[in-house]
Structure 1
Amino acid sequence: MRCHHEMPFGARLQDGGGALFRLWAPAARQVELALETGAGPELHAARSEAKGWWECRVPQAAAGTLYRWRIDGGLLVPDPASRYNPEGPHGPSCLVDPGQFEWDADWRGRPWHETVLYELHVGTFTPEGTYAAAAGRLQALVDIGVTAVELMPVANFAGRFGWGYDGVLPYAPHDAYGPPDELKAFIQQAHRLGLMVFLDVVYNHFGPDGNYLHAYAPAFFSQTKKSPWGAAINFDGPDSDTVREFFIQNAVYWVQEYRFDGLRLDAVHAISDDSDRHVLRELSERVRTATAGRHVHLVLENEDNGHEHLASTPMHGSYDGQWNDDFHHVVHVALTGETQRYYHDYGAGTMDLLARCLTHGMVFEGSKRREGGAREVVAPAPPQPLSALVNFAHNHDQVGNRARGERLTALVPGQAAALPTLLALLTPAIPMLFFGEEWGAPEPFLYFADWEGELRDAVRAGRKREFGHVAADDLPDPCSSETFERSRPDVGHARSDAGRARLELVRTALAARRRWITPRQAQLLTGKHSAQRIGERGLSVQWRYEDGRLLSLELNLGDAPLQVEPQHLGPVEAELVYSHRWPADTPRGTWPAYAARWTFGEEITL
């Protein structure tokens, strides 16, 4: 099976030979296509079309041809819809034949309720930092029960290394990780192992280095709206139809041409669109139409806890899930006591907030975050479907945006180190692991970006300002290759006694999830769950199903045992789902320190 996404942007090979090149450059007076040759650029005049489009046919162009666009007789720029830029965004684009890769025809994906996500950064996932090397590690993820890999952004960005959120060529996989067909081979290998592959995409801004759009297509950027990264993307102003299409086509391109099984849309709270039909709704409709017959999932990151785009079942215009920062923040505060910056609102009544999160999904629904971290106060919203939320103890932001990139396991008492991961894996919400978490990786995950010149100096100074509340004299240099290398988890730790023990813990927890939680997701009720505080550090939680059955959690986050009254105990005849630090001979009514136990049974009334 061959997969080729037809789109109005970029370059396409012609059936009779040669290629057609198209560029939207409404601010340009003259546009030429510059083919790269050993003797210098070979220029071909482009014809001006309606509404700012320029078009050029080149009979001798073929797969592998390198090219750029020349604007107004001077500036050479890459194709903004380039499928491959082998020398980075400041170099030439490469004409690609998408049809040369042969796909297996039988993969249709997996339903959302089976999802167990595993977020990874391609550049630090393996020593080689390539798609090909990452493919060799997939079987180990299958062995512990992961069902979906989520790649941090791979859109081409400037420099040798970076997180990927400053991409400037959204259609071109990052050159340092390998050519496009190696990314496709990674996805194909995942599919052959039963793994879905999700991609993190950024539709709220372009990176600061290698973005040439201002020079010839300033209409990509709003004249009236701002974002944390400068001018907002123009989704609702003059000429926004083409801008919207550029990003929607990109989403369809990844799920069609690369057969990704899902997209995670970064920071949609920074996408401003006052159109009658919001771009997020249109994007969902177009992706679902283009992938009919496959399980393709759409996930949001929304720092403001908006939930208007979520639905409990896949629907055109809706999204399957959303990252739940509230879960991470309240667990973090409960186990570390940190309350600075965006942990501020979780410091009062922390255990009550954790109870609400476990039963209602979020703590602060629809609450925007103010500058400095505190949230606006809003009226509580109805409970959200728990299966529409993604819970995690770690992710790239929550680890990497710390001054020194510590993982949560390095910040909590040793006896409690596994509890955050287990709480993420064994709730009805969709769970996510961050690479290395499965064996308790001790390495940090730091912020790194290979900037140069004034941009490098500004980033270094900004990090020092941001973390002025900590000793800044030994902060890792974000633009150093050493910082990048320090962020690579050493898989050798997985073979240590502690690493093998943590791997077994994750494997057995996910086996319990697969047996007890996953098959019953469709019966999970919304708004019927409950929780009770037990002393200062305990919680008893009940998740209810349509057939009257009950999944119960007994949790002690304290360093001393708890004595519990009978009305707060789970069903007497319940079956054990999973226990952690809870010996089988523990007397009924006693909860050990830093322990958790999940049971399943009929609800009883005392």
Structure 2
Amino acid sequence: MSARHAYRTTMGATLLDPSRTLFRLWAPSCTYVSLLLDGHPDRVMHATADGYFECIAPVGAGARYRYRVGPDLVVPDPASRAQPDDVHGPSMVVDPRAFEWRSTQWTGRSWEQTVIYEVHVGIAGGFRALCDDLPRIAALGVTAIELMPLSEFPGGRNWGYDGVLPYAPESAYGTVDDLKMLVDTAHRIGLMVFLDVVYNHFGPDGNYLAEYAAPLFRAGSHTAWGAAIDFAVPQVRTYFLENALYWLMEFRFDGLRLDAVDAITERDWLLELLVRVRECVEPGRRVHLMLENRNNDADLLRRGFDAQWNDDGHNVLHVLLTGEHEGYYGNFETGTTRELATVLRDGFLFQGQIEPVTGHPRGSPGGDLPATSFILFLQNHDQIGNRAFGERLDVLANPRALRVAYALLLLCPQIPMLFMGEEWGSTRPFLFFTSHHAALGHVVRDGRRRELAAFSHFSDPAVRETIPDPNDPATFEASRLPQSDRQTPRAQDRINLTTHLLALRTKWIIPRLRGAHALDAHAIGNRAVLARWRMNDGAILTIMLNLGGEAVADVPPCADRLIHAFPDVGGDGPVGLPGYGIRVFMTEGGHGG
């Protein structure tokens, strides 16, 4: 049994039948647009309402085309579904129904079952290589892979946040059908697939939109990454709404992670997206929407977004594990044990108070939200790759303290996320890499080194020169993860630990997780915290952890069932909490509340 899926968009090339295609472009800055088809005469496109141009041409799937939007400017389709020759080449007509889906009974998984594994597809070897690796990932106890952005970007090496064609899967990773095969295979073995999407800016190379669709950008307004997109314009709203639905309906992704939505000033567009997705997705199918949002906007979570990346939680734990306090870590320089208790209890640390680093208020109260409204992580692409040398925590942190934090991550009621390689304690870097043309590559390299000059370690220009050049292919190669790395005794120990902890999560935490709320959390020592959550069946989950080497003797007695201990003491163990130790208890039947 199989199925075929297609989602028709307002813009782009829509196959009407095997030999006819409708081409539609929004070009409000133009008075004349023509369609350039390989092997065919140019065709004048007809202006329609609201700045659109369209025509029907006698071509089918595989036809390559571009648009002439000015006397000397020919551009790819901004809604291109395939770019075989990169961002400056012609777009290609795709038949979305050519792929036969086999996972026809898949309806997704509940949010409470989610354990995320973040992946850079290029480092994984492309769509097909990642597909081959899915059984190994699933065997860990992971239930969802999250792919870093796939929109076509310049060259073959990029994090994906420089994408300029949001509808076209990155051609360096494989074909459109290769990506569909990846999602289909994941579903057949019980894995969800999430996609990181970028709706707050376009990359600098291959971005022609301002030349023929100037109203897409808000004049005089910029984000940290480029011109601000104007979501007050109806056609712009439609372009990005349909992009989200395209990935969910045609590629069958199980959810989207929306990058840096704090850079989208029209907050109502986010709410419209939420409504449109819920209306469009088939009844009974579970699709999840996640946010990255520096604003810590708790109301968006109350309104229906499933969760937000918990940067506050990461930052507190990172400072406790490494002692680093420069840059934004300066917001967490003091009182980190108390702050760890806050993020375990409330999710957000910043709930409206002034940030020390910026001097501005940030966030809103979120203590009423269920614990699953927050995605917790020790590492991700940003937190590793934005470091000058891309060091992972296994290079930076005390291994025993990291072992405790890892157990907290995987047994805490917040949704856990791992970054590729973390499950075996990889010590290879994940660096910032690009494949821009030479001139832009030099700008990116020099700009990155200037930004890092603010850190004391890089105040010396000679030291800054040692920071890897993002555009050097060797920078990408240094970030690869050879399979042999997983074969060492140390790596196997971490894999076994990961599998064990996720098995405990599956048995003890997930069945009780829907609606679980924190009861309290407080410091019980210099670097130790006790936190409790009421689960949905009335059971109380208690986690005591100590990220310091000094034992904590005075801890509350706990007669509950001990489900995990490190160091392993057997039975209920002693009353105290050893240095670099963690105890996880479950009181069943609602006792102890």
Aligned-partner residue type, residue 510 of structure 1: L
Of the three residues 557, 565, 571, the one matched with 1:569 is 557
Q: Secondary structure at the match of 2:34?
A: strand
Q: Secondary structure at the match of 1:106?
A: coil
Deviation string 1:404-436 (CA, Å, 9 cap, x unpaired) is 111112111122232332221111111101000
Q: Residues of 1 paired with 2:173 and 2:497: CA distance?
A: 32
Of the three residues 255, 258, 267, the one matched with 2:251 is 258
Is 2:273 aligned against 1:295? no
Range moving further from structure 2, 433-442 or 577-586: 577-586
Residue 183 of structure 1 and its aligned partner are, at CA, apart by 0.2
Is 2:36 aligned against 1:34? yes
Is 2:486 aligned against 1:483? no
Residue 454 of structure 1 and its aligned partner are, at CA, apart by 3.1
Give the alignment's Cα RMSD to 1 decimal: 1.9
Residue 122 of structure 1 and its aligned partner are, at CA, apart by 0.2
Report if aligned partners of 1:345, 1:374 keep a CA contact under 8 Å in 2. Answer: no
Residue 219 of structure 1 and its aligned partner are, at CA, apart by 0.8
Range moving further from structure 2, 414-423 or 291-300: 414-423
Q: Residues of 2 paired with 1:523 and 1:9: CA distance?
A: 40
Q: Residues of 2 paired with 1:369 and 1:458: CA distance?
A: 31
Of the three residues 163, 180, 187, the one matched with 2:183 is 187
Q: Secondary structure at the match of 2:540?
A: strand
Q: Residues of 1 paired with 2:189 and 2:538: CA distance?
A: 36
Range moving further from structure 2, 394-403 or 590-599: 590-599
Report if aligned partners of 2:200, 2:228 keep a CA contact under 8 Å in 1. Answer: yes
Aligned in 2, Cα 1:147/1:585: closer, same or farther, shift over 3 Å? closer
Aligned-partner residue type, residue 323 of structure 1: W
Residue 401 of structure 1 and its aligned partner are, at CA, apart by 0.6
Q: Secondary structure at the match of 2:490?
A: helix
Q: Residues of 2 paired with 1:368 and 1:171: CA distance?
A: 39
Is 2:509 aligned against 1:517? yes
Q: Residues of 1 paired with 2:226 and 2:578: CA distance?
A: 51
Number of the residue aligned with 2:460: none
Number of the residue aligned with 2:397: 412
Residue 437 of structure 1 and its aligned partner are, at CA, apart by 0.4
Report if aligned partners of 2:297, 2:364 keep a CA contact under 8 Å in 1. Answer: no
Q: Secondary structure at the match of 2:54?
A: strand
Deviation string 1:303-328 (CA, Å, 9 cap, x unpaired) is 222222103xxxxx621111000110
Residue 583 of structure 1 and its aligned partner are, at CA, apart by 2.5
Q: Residues of 2 paired with 1:378 and 1:212: CA distance?
A: 35
Deviation string 1:169-218 (CA, Å, 9 cap, x unpaired) is 00000000001000000000000010000000000000000011111001
Aligned-partner residue type, residue 50 of structure 1: A
Report if aligned partners of 1:284, 1:318 keep a CA contact under 8 Å in 2. Answer: yes
| 1:102-113 correspondence to structure 2 within 5 Å | 102-104=100-102, 105-113=104-112
Number of the residue aligned with 1:314: none
Residue 383 of structure 1 and its aligned partner are, at CA, apart by 3.9
Report if aligned partners of 2:404, 2:545 keep a CA contact under 8 Å in 1. Answer: no
Aligned in 2, Cα 1:16/1:156: closer, same or farther, shift over 3 Å? closer
Deviation string 1:498-557 (CA, Å, 9 cap, x unpaired) is 1110001000100111111111112523xx511232221211221123554211112111
Q: Secondary structure at the match of 1:522?
A: coil
Q: Secondary structure at the match of 2:464?
A: coil
Deviation string 1:458-497 (CA, Å, 9 cap, x unpaired) is 2111111121122313111111110111111222121110
| 1:370-389 correspondence to structure 2 within 5 Å | 376=361, 382-389=367-374
Of the three residues 312, 316, 320, the one matched with 1:334 is 320
Report if aligned partners of 2:371, 2:515 keep a CA contact under 8 Å in 1. Answer: no
Number of the residue aligned with 1:131: 127
Residue 446 of structure 1 and its aligned partner are, at CA, apart by 0.7
Aligned in 2, Cα 1:366/1:482: closer, same or farther, shift over 3 Å? farther
Number of the residue aligned with 2:429: 444
Q: Residues of 2 paired with 1:22 and 1:499: CA distance?
A: 52
Range moving further from structure 2, 258-267 or 406-415: 406-415
Aligned-partner residue type, residue 388 of structure 1: S
Residue 357 of structure 1 and its aligned partner are, at CA, apart by 0.8
Number of the residue aligned with 1:21: 23
Range moving further from structure 2, 534-543 or 281-290: 534-543
Q: Secondary structure at the match of 2:514?
A: helix
Q: Residues of 2 paired with 1:366 and 1:352: CA distance?
A: 17
Q: Residues of 2 paired with 1:341 and 1:121: CA distance?
A: 25
Aligned in 2, Cα 1:87/1:280: closer, same or farther, shift over 3 Å? same
Aligned in 2, Cα 1:585/1:114: closer, same or farther, shift over 3 Å? closer
Q: Residues of 1 paired with 2:296 and 2:394: CA distance?
A: 26
Number of the residue aligned with 1:150: 146
Number of the residue aligned with 2:121: 122
Q: Secondary structure at the match of 2:574?
A: coil
Aligned-partner residue type, residue 245 of structure 1: T
Number of the residue aligned with 1:90: 88
Residue 248 of structure 1 and its aligned partner are, at CA, apart by 0.1
Number of the residue aligned with 2:299: 308
Q: Normalising by the residue count of structure 2, what TM-score does the alignment of the two structures yield?
A: 0.94
| 1:455-494 correspondence to structure 2 within 5 Å | 455-468=440-453, 469=455, 470=457, 471-494=463-486
Q: Residues of 2 paired with 1:152 and 1:368: CA distance?
A: 31
| 1:164-179 correspondence to structure 2 within 5 Å | 164-179=160-175
Number of the residue aligned with 1:268: 261
Q: Residues of 2 paired with 1:605 and 1:246: CA distance?
A: 52
Q: Residues of 2 paired with 1:47 and 1:379: CA distance?
A: 49
Residue 585 of structure 1 and its aligned partner are, at CA, apart by 7.0
Is 2:396 aligned against 1:398? no
Is 2:338 aligned against 1:348? no
Q: Residues of 1 paired with 2:364 and 2:504: CA distance?
A: 36
Aligned in 2, Cα 1:264/1:380: closer, same or farther, shift over 3 Å? closer
Deviation string 1:100-152 (CA, Å, 9 cap, x unpaired) is 00112211111111010000000002xxx210111000000111100000000
Q: Residues of 1 paired with 2:355 and 2:176: CA distance?
A: 38
Residue 228 of structure 1 and its aligned partner are, at CA, apart by 1.3
What is the total number of aligned residue pairs between the two structures?
Answer: 581
Q: Secondary structure at the match of 1:70?
A: strand
Aligned-partner residue type, residue 215 of structure 1: E
Q: Residues of 1 paired with 2:177 and 2:18: CA distance?
A: 24
Of the three residues 513, 534, 540, the one matched with 2:530 is 540
Q: Secondary structure at the match of 1:12?
A: strand
Q: Secondary structure at the match of 1:418?
A: helix
Residue 593 of structure 1 and its aligned partner are, at CA, apart by 1.6
Of the three residues 249, 262, 265, the one matched with 2:242 is 249
Report if aligned partners of 2:159, 2:433 keep a CA contact under 8 Å in 1. Answer: yes
Report if aligned partners of 1:442, 1:489 keep a CA contact under 8 Å in 2. Answer: no
Q: Residues of 1 paired with 2:322 and 2:350: CA distance?
A: 20
Residue 378 of structure 1 and its aligned partner are, at CA, apart by 6.9
Report if aligned partners of 2:405, 2:547 keep a CA contact under 8 Å in 1. Answer: no
Number of the residue aligned with 2:55: 56
Residue 377 of structure 1 and its aligned partner are, at CA, apart by 6.2
Number of the residue aligned with 1:65: 63
Is 2:494 aligned against 1:502? yes
Number of the residue aligned with 1:286: 276
Q: Residues of 2 paired with 1:190 and 1:51: CA distance?
A: 41
Range moving further from structure 2, 489-498 or 198-207: 489-498
Deviation string 1:45-99 (CA, Å, 9 cap, x unpaired) is 111112211111111x111111000113331100000000001110000000000
Report if aligned partners of 1:523, 1:545 keep a CA contact under 8 Å in 2. Answer: yes
Report if aligned partners of 1:582, 1:592 keep a CA contact under 8 Å in 2. Answer: no
